[in-house]
Amino acid sequence: MRALLYGGLLALGLTLAGCAGSWGSPDRSQRASAALTASFAALVASPNDFDVEPREVTAALAEADLDFALDVFADAYAAPEGHAPVPPRARIDEARRVIQSRATFSPFELATLLRDLLRADDGHLAFGHGGDRPLRLEALPAPPAPPASAAPPVELVEGEVPVVVVRTFETAAAAALGTLPRLAERLRAAPAFVVDLRGNGGGNYAFAERFLLALAHGPIHALGTREVQSVTAALGRVNAAKRRLARGDVPEAARAMFFEHITRLEQLADDLAARGEGRVEIVRNGESLQGTAPAPLAGRGVVLVDRGCASACEMFVALARQIPGLLVAGERTRGSMAVGEVAWFLLPRSRLVITLGTRAVVDPLGDFDETRGFVPDLDLAGPDALVEARHVAAFAPASAWAAARARELRVEAAAGRSGTKKPR
């Protein structure tokens, strides 16, 4: 597959079949279509293909899909820190022996084999298929998804202790999320406040970071990141974005942002293919972010979380834990932050679907665990959690902030060891 991907075909254009009319020029999409082969078409599948019925396959076709998956992982998967993108050769050889010992594989059997072979402590990594009875086998067990809600993405609940509820960081909610820095001004001036992130499954980390920096006054240790740049990674992320557009998950007001995102990824893939580059990792560690608030918090705040807080939500928590005056309360978070920027791939023979992350993330304080998430400073659960969080913010004694204060000292010590860093 690499000969196909890096041999120059992608330089002709990367517009997906079935969706070219939405954002690709006719000339570019025609040239891309002329370059398609069976393997290439599978790598950049039409968004609707992710929802088709899977196929039972012979052992030979199952092994071909295994090879396809291994190439995708080698080229695009960031993998958690300390975990290789692909398993050791001995485990791969054992998977081949299992495949060759069977005449056929059902979609469930093949998805299970791939999950067991390629599993990592990664809350975004999953294997499955679409069709009438969709399947999703996750590398880490996920808590039940919260019920669908018609509530707004962002909501300010006024009162003696104001509450800002942020239900998502998804780009599709960009209009509402754009108000967060302004709402941060309201919170900074309050004697006590709550940021309610329960059920926030994440989304676009940029919105979380802007909100956080609007709350912060001083420097914040940034998340460490390791991002994979490759033709495969870029195309997988294009697949993910175009699938959301095709499914109608993106409101009209946010569609332009998705189109721009897709265009940038396609251009990146074009550039990488033209240079003949394979996998490149962009690593950023030890950087500092500078809060934009004119002064420290006037009072104290509680960040309320639960098992539904995941991905970009947990990234917000990683930074919020460094702000003096903030306490994290509730239940432990999902544990789904280690690898993000999810890409989608379709295996061409079985029509199985793989979702994997192309950017690894590290908590700057080292407290995050992908298998357990963040442990809150204060346990709060049940239907009265928000009432209790408001009470804690307004009336809890200083001792309630002991864990948070100890963390501040760790932040200060880390800053002293590393010296003053230039804000990014």
Residue 64 DSSP SS3? helix
Q: So what's the pLDDT on residue 159?
A: 94
Q: What's the CATH fold of domain 154-225+284-337+373-418?
A: 2-enoyl-CoA Hydratase; Chain A, domain 1 (3.90.226)
State the helix-helix crossing angle for 59-76 and 231-246, rounded to 10 degrees: 100
* pLDDT, greater one: 274 or 385: 385
Per-residue confidence at 409, pLDDT binned at 50, 70, 90? low
This prediction has a pTM of 0.83
Question: How far is C-alpha 105 from the geometric centre of its chain's CA atoms?
Answer: 31
Q: Which amino acid, 277?
A: E
Using alpha carbons, select from 40, 108, 72, 141 the residue that is nearest to residue 352: 108
Q: Where are the domains of the chain?
A: 154-225+284-337+373-418
Residue 48 backbone phi and psi in degrees, to 5: -70, -20
> Mind listing the pLDDT tens digit for each residue in 307-357?
999 999 999 999 999 998 999 999 999 999 999 999 999 999 999 999 999
Lookup result for tokens 């120059």: 8
Q: CA-to-CA distance for 424 and 287, rounded, in angstroms?
A: 7
**Residue 257 DSSP class:** H
Q: What is the pLDDT of residue 155?
A: 97
Does the pLDDT at position 17 exceed 70? Answer: no
pLDDT for res 403: 67
Q: Are 153 and 145 a contacting pair, CB within 8 Å?
A: no
Q: What confidence category does residue 180 fall into, taking pLDDT thresholds of 50, 70 and 90? A: very high
Q: Which of 182, 185, 217, 220 is nearest to 292 (CA)?
A: 217
Structure tokens, 151: 């509530």
Q: How far apart are CA 122 and CA 360, in angstroms?
A: 10
The mean-pLDDT minimum among 144-148, 207-211, 352-356 falls in 144-148
How far apart CA 63 and CA 54 sit, in angstroms, is 16
Q: What is the pLDDT of residue 412?
A: 60
CA distance 363 to 80: 12
3-state class (DSSP) for residue 182 = helix
- Looking at residue 269, what is its pLDDT? 87
